[in-house]
Amino acid sequence: MYLHIGEDVLVKDSEIIGIFDMDTSTVNKATRDYLKKAQADRRVIYVNYDLPKCFVVTDKSVYVSPINTGTLNKRAK
Read off the pLDDT of residues 21-60 as tens digits, 9 standing for 90 and up.
999 998 999 999 999 999 999 999 999 989 999 999 999 9
Residue-level pLDDT at 39: 97
Q: Is the pLDDT of residue 77 over 90?
A: no
Amino acid in the structure at residue 74: K
This prediction has a pTM of: 0.92
Question: How far is 52 from 75, CA to CA, in rounded Å?
Answer: 18
Long-range CB contact pairs, 47-51, < 8 A, 24+: 47/5, 47/6, 47/7, 47/9, 48/6, 48/7
pLDDT band (50, 70, 90) for residue 68 = very high
What pLDDT, on a 0 to 100 scale, did the predictor assign at position 9? 95
Is residue 28 classed as helix, strand or coil in its secondary structure? coil
Strand, coil or helix: 6:
strand
